[in-house]
Amino acid sequence: MEHTRPRFLAVLVYVLLGLGALIMLLPLVWMGLTSLKTFPEILRNPAPWLPAAPQWQNYRTVWEGFAFYRFFLNSAFVAVMVIAGTVLTCCPAAYAFAYYDVRHKDLIFGALLCTVMLPAQVTVIPLFQAYAALHWVNTYLPLVVPAWLGGNVFGIFLLRQFFRTIPRSFIEAARLDGASEWSILWKLVVPMSLPAVLTVVIFTFLWSWNDLFNPLIYLHNEETYTLPVGLLYFIARAEQLTGGNAGQVPWHLVMTLAMVMVAPVILLFAFAQRRFVEGVASSGVKG
């Protein structure tokens, strides 16, 4: 009886987690099914769960007819540049905070963390004025340059926490062997911290890929739009896409665009799930 109780509790936990996962996936399933419906089907009340005949041409319509591939490539370019800048700047900063003994290091690190608590809306006006003075508005520079200047404070924090789990004896041994600090970072510390680095890459990709606020402010040309702004632009042109039905948004095509946006996120997490969970769990081991 004593052995069956823990097993029953384990089964109960898995059942509850499975139900929770199904509830969380329900909106995604609805979005995917809606993307395969026709416009008259989504106007029915109640709307059917399953499409009468899957409309796979919806994806071709939004990809080619609306030139949505351009927005996809714009988002991919911005995400890659932001990820590269984040990794190349956050790793050295986290290494310095983890292994360099300097005066007031903890105070400086605390002040750095305080910047995370500052809402982005507070700084948007002075930042826009600064970027406008540099003639960066309507370019990708306001979206990319901050990542190359160590602007991802959360990434620095996460990597610093993980770096501190690596024994100092490894670092000291490498220094005694004559390795430079740069070599120690990129040839020893970073390879040993791949789960944390991958976690930062995933978080950075999500923030950049789903960012609507900054592109909406700085990008004013249709050819430079990223996916979130392109989705808004698509909804604004709903009348043209529904054959002149004023006020009727083609939600089946909107859901198609949303599926195109979320697909890279799902694929990235599916391939990197184990490393991602390991990086998040391990980064809080040592404070």
Is the distance from CB of 200 to CB of 159 less than 8 angstroms?
yes
Q: What is the pLDDT of residue 132?
A: 94
Q: Which residues contact 183 (CB under 8 A, 6 or more apart)?
A: 174
Between the ranges 57-61, 212-216, 232-236, where is the mean pLDDT highest?
A: 212-216
Provide the residue ranges of all domains of the chain, joining segments of one domain with +: 69-282
pLDDT digits (tens, 9 = 90+) for 142-201: 999 999 998 889 999 989 988 988 888 888 899 888 889 999 999 999 998 888 898 899
* pLDDT beyond 60 at 232: yes
Report pLDDT for 240. 60
Taking residues 27-38, report their average pLDDT: 88
List own/partner pairs for 116-124 with CB under 8 A and 24 or more apart: 116/153, 116/154, 116/157, 120/213, 124/217
Using CA atoms, how far apart are residues 12 and 10, in angstroms rounded to an integer? Answer: 5
How confident is the model at residue 285, as a pLDDT?
47
Both structure tokens of 245: 């039905």
Task: State the chain's mean pLDDT as an integer.
Answer: 85
Residue whose structure tokens are 């501190």? 164
- Which tens digits make up the pLDDT trace of 99-140? 888 888 889 998 888 888 888 888 899 999 999 999 999 999
Class assignment of domain 69-282? Answer: mainly alpha
Who's near 139: CB < 8 A, 6+ residues apart?
218, 224
pLDDT score for 22? 87
Cβ-contact 189, 95 below 8 angstroms: yes
Name, in order, each residue with C-beta under 8 angstroms of 268's C-beta and a sequence gap of 6 or more.
202, 205
Task: Determine the pLDDT at residue 280.
Answer: 58
Q: Work out the average pLDDT over 5-12.
A: 79
Instruction: Specify the DSSP class assigned to residue 223.
Output: G
Cα–Cα distance measured from residue 186 to residue 199, given in angstroms and rounded to the nearest whole number: 17
**Residue 257 burial (C-beta neighbours within 10 Å; 0-12, 13-18, 19+):** buried
Whether 6 shows a pLDDT value over 80: the answer reads no
What is the C-alpha separation between 228 and 240, in angstroms, rounded? 20
Looking at residue 257, its pLDDT comes to: 86
Query: Can you tell me the mean pLDDT for 236-249?
Result: 60
Calculate what percentage of the chain has a pLDDT beyond 90. 30
How far apart are alpha carbons 106 and 138 in whole angstroms? 38
